[in-house]
Amino acid sequence: MDLDAARDAGFAGGFFALYVPSPHIGDPPAVPYAVPLADPIPYEEAARVADELFDVLCGLPVARATGVRDFRPGRVTAIVHMEGAEAIASDLSNLETWYERGLRSLGPVWSRANAFAEGVPFRFPSSPDTGDGLTAAGRSLVQACNRLGILVDLSHLNWAGFWDVARLSEAPLVATHSNAHALCESSRNLTDDQLDAIRDSDGVVGVNFAVTFLRADGTESPDATTAEIVRHVDYLVERMGVDHVAFGSDFDGCVVPHDLGGAGDLPMLVDELRAAGYDEADVAKITHENWLRVLDATWR
């Protein structure tokens, strides 16, 4: 993520993840694969690392968004996002403190278990139906996020957790970086039933640029191109409507198509959407308007 190149390309902002990493699992597995869930991260360790990452974010030359009016042309604005809620105490005693620091988006899990839920493991081919749903603490977390106005990200939740959130949440359902399971049978991708639920809630799916979640064969091929991204956009738009599809990227979290070097190359991807038949109104929805609508409906 080159902030200068991103700003010059018209990138106005996105989700900047405070992600507490698990130990490296090694080289990309051969297909088919079934990578076990990562080990849980203790709260004390996660809280320390999240504090350090937040300090790093505060030192970057970016604004931090607490409302949709904070996104402005000519600058990059960060949504403070937790990818995995291990840094939140199980009794939620520090959630409001994080809100006051600017937290506006939270994924209850990464692909490991914690006090709130069980993440979806990395498997191919596999459905996302891989384990238990939200714990009692997880249900309380979703309700507290609704009350405060924190977006709840479904991307790393398994099937049971997804539907628990869908039943509980009063906000639009959002998967910030996920793709269509019908096109790539990764456990991390969303089934048609899940896509329909997100659409019916007036939510949004941000298309993930990770090669392994794009390609039909699930491989992390260096030959993948942005045509794979457009393929998933097309499917999601046909299934959900253009009002419910956006860019989700996962920059700095995955291997992306070789012709998409970073956020500075997003105009090239937008041109591909135009070439595929999307008009300017559609492009505006996919690049920013759908995100702004959902954020405005979620944030307080």
* pLDDT, tens digit, 9 for 90 and up, residues 177-217: 999 999 999 999 999 999 999 999 999 999 999 999 999 99
Give the CATH number, domain containing residue 261.
Answer: 3.20.20.140
Q: What pLDDT band is residue 125 in, cutting at 50, 70 and 90?
A: very high
Spell out the alpha helix ranges (H) of the chain: 3-8, 43-58, 95-101, 136-148, 159-168, 192-200, 227-240, 266-275, 280-284, 290-298
Measured CA to CA, the distance from residue 92 to residue 46 in angstroms comes to 14
Reply yes or no on whether the pLDDT at 253 is more than 90.
no
**Number of structural domains, the chain?**
1
Q: Distance between CA 21 and CA 6 in Å, rounded? A: 25
Q: What's the chain's average pLDDT?
A: 96
pLDDT at 268: 96
**pLDDT at res. 23:** 81
Calculate mean pLDDT across residues 234-245: 98
Q: Can you tell me the mean pLDDT for 226-232?
A: 97
Please provide the DSSP assignment of 77-123 as one string.
Answer: EEEEEEES-TTS-TT-TTHHHHHHHTEEEEES-SSBB-SS-BBPP-E
Residue 172's domain spans which residues? Answer: 3-298
Name the burial class of residue 44, with classes exposed (0-12), middle (13-18) and buried (19+) by CB atoms within 10 angstroms of its CB. Answer: exposed
Q: In this model, does residue 28 exceed pLDDT 80?
A: no
Residue 252's pLDDT band (cuts 50, 70, 90): confident
- Please give the average per-residue pLDDT across 222-248, as a whole number: 96
Looking at residue 25, what is its pLDDT? Answer: 67
Please report the pLDDT score of residue 237 as a whole number: 98
Report in angstroms the alpha-carbon separations of 32 from 80, 122, 129, 212, 219.
35, 11, 17, 12, 9
CA 191 vs CA 54, 181, 195, 216, 239: distances in Å: 33, 5, 6, 14, 11
Instruction: Give tens-digit pLDDT for 127-154.
Output: 999 999 999 999 999 999 999 999 999 9
pLDDT tens-digit map of 51-66: 999 999 999 999 999 9
Backbone angles phi, psi at 219, to 5 degrees: -90, 155
Q: Residue 29: which pLDDT band, with cuts at 50, 70 and 90?
A: confident
Check: pTM over 0.75? Answer yes or no: yes
